[in-house]
Amino acid sequence: MSSKTIAILTSGGDAPGMNAAIRAVVRSSIYYGCKVYGINRGYKGLIEGDLFEMNLSSVGDIIQKGGTILKSSRCEEFKTEEGRAIGVEVLKKYGIDCLVVIGGDGSFNGAQKLSDLGFPAIGIPGTIDNDLAYTDYTIGFDTTMNTIIDAIGKIRDTSSSHERVNIIEVMGRHCGDLALYAGLAGGAESIIVPEMDFTIDDVCDKLEQTKKRGKRHSIIVLAEGVGNAQDLGNKIVERTGADLRVTILGHVQRGGSPSAFDRILASKMGVRAVELLLEGKSARVIGIKDNKIIDMDINEALSMERSFDKEIFEMTKILSI
């Protein structure tokens, strides 16, 4: 392995565990005798030349912190050829040989474009939605799922006290994994996700079914990509007369100290990313399959179609009778 100068950035929505990945990239780079630079505010900071050299102390006491110490932002300019050319010039100016990008599919697209320009880049999946098809889990998903489960438990306490129906809206515009797994673990009566069709009749019938067996409160978990939670609530009230409340969890789902799973996953992925770069690899993304860290061509990974676990979805129906 030859010594290199490696840069790292975080892009797109923040996810718990990003700091653990940053720490792993920085410390493993230094371990292997490399220089490492941090880029603030993602591709926007890259274009603006907002870089700084990092050392061991730069990542001290961050493994347990949510968010990202490198900050994040969206950057429309980097989607243009001119913007990417500026980014490459900045990297060359600082003597940087290769780049690690932590983020979701949009961030990976940026890494792909840089690789196409001949600048080596490796992607680490950091997104709470778990919406990348090539990997079983993304950094941040486990922590966010547990945040939702905690909220479900607290809402159930008050829901049962007042014999209410509660709709809990969670993140997931195009991917229902957060709603599915948190709804399963939280014992929700109904789970509504973008990947599966549903009708108001189905939801209301389930409420009536639970009411007949003596249960006076219910939890409905709704992925934000399906529709407006309040509109759904109004329709349910019209049909059933239920005492109903809506809770939109919003950005509370992004924050918080990462779980042990996310810290370990991020650490493994960060070290592997550096090793790939030192092996002369480029245009790869890191993932986990069957509990093993893998890497894959970035173009292949981005072209894969994500499959929703319908078997688990059907199981939630069995368990919520």
Q: What is the pLDDT of residues 109-140, one digit of tens each?
A: 999 999 999 999 999 999 999 999 999 999 99
The span from the CA of 287 to the CA of 305, in Å, is 15
**Cα dihedral angle (151, 157, 160, 161), rounded to 10 degrees?**
-140
How far CA 283 is from CA of 100, 192, 260, 319, in Å, comes to 10, 36, 29, 43
Lowest mean pLDDT among 26-35, 182-191, 212-221: 212-221
Q: Is 308 helix (H, G, I), strand (E, B) or coil?
A: coil
Answer yes or no: are the C-beta atoms of 254 and 19 closer than 8 Å. no
**Section 204-219 average pLDDT:** 88
Residue appearing with tokens 């680490």: 124
The span from the CA of 164 to the CA of 245, in Å, is 7
The span from the CA of 114 to the CA of 110, in Å, is 6
Give which of 214, 246, 215, 242 is closest to 230, Cα–Cα: 246
Which pTM value belongs to this model?
Answer: 0.96
By percentage, how much of the chain surpasses pLDDT 90? 94
Lowest mean pLDDT among 73-82, 166-175, 191-200: 73-82
pLDDT band, residue 1 (cuts 50/70/90):
low
Which residues, 6 or more positions from 173, have their beta carbon under 8 angstroms from its beta carbon? 129, 194, 223, 224, 225
Catalytic residue positions? 129
Give which of 75, 140, 134, 142 is closest to 102, Cα–Cα: 140
Lowest mean pLDDT among 138-142, 215-219, 221-225: 215-219
The span from the CA of 48 to the CA of 166, in Å, is 46
Strands (DSSP E) found in the chain: 5-10, 35-39, 51-53, 98-103, 121-125, 165-170, 190-192, 218-223, 244-248, 284-289, 292-297
Give which of 42, 41, 6 is closest to 24, Cα–Cα: 6
pLDDT band, residue 215 (cuts 50/70/90):
confident
